[in-house]
Structure 1
Amino acid sequence: MSSLYKSWALLVAFVLFYITYLLLGALVFSSIERPEEERLRRELGSLKAQFLNQSCVNITSLDNFMEKVLIANRYGVSMLYNSSQDSNWDLASSLFFANTLVTTVGYGHTTPLSDAGKAFSIVYALIGVPFTMLVLTACVQRLMHLLTYWPIGACRRQSGCKLRTATAVHFVILLLAVVLCFFAIPAVVFSAIEDTWSFLDAFYFCFISLCTIGLGDYVPGEQPGQKMRPLYKISVMVYLFVGLMAMFLVLRTFHKFADVQGLTAFFQLPQCDEEEEEDKEPIVETGSDDQVDVDKAASKRLDPSSQASYSSINR
């Protein structure tokens, strides 16, 4: 099996393991937090019934009721709707929470209720956050060749333009494509599904989410009576992961663009990818000693962190 197939097989294994990790976390969060949520919901229902049955309301009962309601609302449990309200800790919602946790989006609309859930969140995020960054990096490294290096090389071959011009045109096109596919179009979809969201609200949600700010003032799938809520939550989870990948691709491409335009050198910033020393050496040398050195360099194991740079693109 060639190194290319091994590399792709390793990436697929990483992605499958990452999905399994999310599912495992969702099951654990659901099993820990859902009973606690149901207990809190029953307690609020009983307290509300007692409040309604009282013939005369006193200030102590009112304060006690309001305190319970505010605490429960902070954990995503509301008494404004009936008891058939969807749980925040079913499998789909738990999977959505696990995804927002390891991608550092963290809307904050749903938080662990129990001490066990809080402790598991620490351990789960401690492993999940760097693993998510690893999967995103592995995917973006391959997308760079397909969506950055190859288009720039093709543009230079077809039009004969300079490297700086090709990189500038490519970055503008890539940026517009990402804005259209991951901000504008999803905003139209979200504004159509969410009754209370305008297009600006939905666009704002996409931006806040994909920048991993996650303010939590807009969260999809939280309105009562949401149709196909589990599928909707999972679809948003996939959108967040692919969108973060696209944002990472834009950032990596911008860094490459800055290298070519001389911005990193002007601001004395490190280049995105340092070229290997052996890439700068002539491939064919005269003399037996030099040929031995070339043979040794050829048999030297490649550094997996080395990547192609703009200067390696065919004219």
Structure 2
Amino acid sequence: EKKAAAIAAEEAIARNWDFMGSLFFATTVLTTIGYGDYVPLTTVSRIVIAVITIPAVGVFAFALSQLSGTLVHLPIISWTNRARRRTLESHRDILEQWWENQLERFGDGDNSLSIKQTEELWCHAMESLGETVTPVVHAEARMVFKMCDVNHDGRIDTSEAPLVLKALMERRDFLRQHDEANHHTLWVVVLFVVWIFVFSAVFYLIEPLWSYLDAIYFCVITMSTVGLGDLTPTDGNTASMVCWYLFIFGGLGLAILVGNTISASLSALDESIDVVHRTMERNSSIIPSPSRHPSFS
């Protein structure tokens, strides 16, 4: 029995360091999964692993992030760019319509409007261009108008109107980016969950000793990079190894995309909150001339 165990150990060592075993080991190191079934056994190999692991993991994560963003996110980017152009055109239409209404009002000899009047005029311009006006839109406009009232007289005049337009346009653009990022996050999360369940079914079919629950457990533990090592792809099962590589690289790419889209959503939301404050800090000391017409390009 001892001789048989020794032979099995020697075979395992030899198998670990053939090309496929080495590739599998390198992948588990780079992805930080580390099942523990393939390990370095010599002092030199352990030193090499200790030296290169941290920089290698960082480079791999960056490369995977770039690749997954290019391959998976490309259709979303194309759709987003078209939507963004339509959004900006819509914003310019709304702002120009609002400005024309302001000029008509000012043309009667009145140089200012109350904040409530300006809010109503803004919402009317949005409605006339097919935009949905909700209580949130009213509250948003009221907040921006109050903050852009640099004279603190409760009214918006022709000198303050360009500042209001700029703040509203930037804020609405960031809010739209926030909504788009939330939409992308939802789809990527759904795709990520489907990815896990589909590959769980695949592993269930090609791993003869696994139940479907085992396969789900393996996929979740692997994708979380916990890698407990109690379940691993069967040595010599080519189909299982090929599916494992596909599952790992595709799944980790999706996981990174989930993080990126959530980060983009939170960043856009923060920008939408900060834009009015930044605009005021930048322009509070510069009141545009009443005769100056703002640029919407």
Q: Which TM class, normalised by the smaller chain length?
A: 0.5 to 0.7
**Is the Cα–Cα contact under 8 Å of residues 191 and 199 in structure 1 kept in the other structure?**
yes
Pair 1:209–1:235, CA change in 2 (3 A) = same
Match of 1:184 among 197, 208, 220: 197
User: What residue identity is the alignment partner of 1:175?
Assistant: V
1:168 counterpart = 2:182: yes
Pair 1:201–1:116, CA change in 2 (3 A) = same
Larger radius of gyration: 2
Number of the residue aligned with 2:225: 212
**Is the Cα–Cα contact under 8 Å of residues 205 and 218 in structure 1 kept in the other structure?**
yes
User: Counterparts of 2:210 and 2:38 in 1: how far apart (Å)?
Assistant: 20
Pair 1:160–1:89, CA change in 2 (3 A) = farther
Q: Give the TM-score normalised by the residue count of structure 1.
A: 0.50
User: What residue identity is the alignment partner of 1:105?
Assistant: I
Tell me how large the CA RMSD over aligned residues is. Answer: 4.0
Gaps of 5+ in 2: 88-129, 133-174, 275-281, 283-297
Range with greater deviation from structure 2 (195-204 or 139-148): 139-148
1:109 counterpart = 2:37: yes
Pair 1:84–1:196, CA change in 2 (3 A) = same
User: Counterparts of 1:238 and 1:122 in 2: how far apart (Å)?
Assistant: 27
SS state at 2:15 partner: coil
1:134 counterpart = 2:89: no
User: Counterparts of 2:251 and 2:72 in 1: how far apart (Å)?
Assistant: 15
**Is the Cα–Cα contact under 8 Å of residues 144 and 253 in structure 1 kept in the other structure?**
no
User: Counterparts of 1:200 and 1:191 in 2: how far apart (Å)?
Assistant: 9
Pair 1:258–1:122, CA change in 2 (3 A) = same
1:96 counterpart = 2:24: yes
- Residues 138-163 of structure 1 deviation map (CA, whole Å, 9 limit, x = unaligned): 32453576254433455675998972
Number of the residue aligned with 1:199: 212
Number of the residue aligned with 1:299: none
User: Counterparts of 1:160 and 1:209 in 2: how far apart (Å)?
Assistant: 46
**Is the Cα–Cα contact under 8 Å of residues 35 and 227 in structure 2 kept in the other structure?**
yes
Match of 1:256 among 264, 271, 284: 264
**Is the Cα–Cα contact under 8 Å of residues 109 and 216 in structure 1 kept in the other structure?**
yes
User: What residue identity is the alignment partner of 1:171?
Assistant: T
User: Counterparts of 2:82 and 2:215 in 1: how far apart (Å)?
Assistant: 36
Q: Give the TM-score normalised by the residue count of structure 2.
A: 0.52
User: Counterparts of 1:126 and 1:168 in 2: how far apart (Å)?
Assistant: 32
More RCO (CA 8 Å, sep 6+): 2
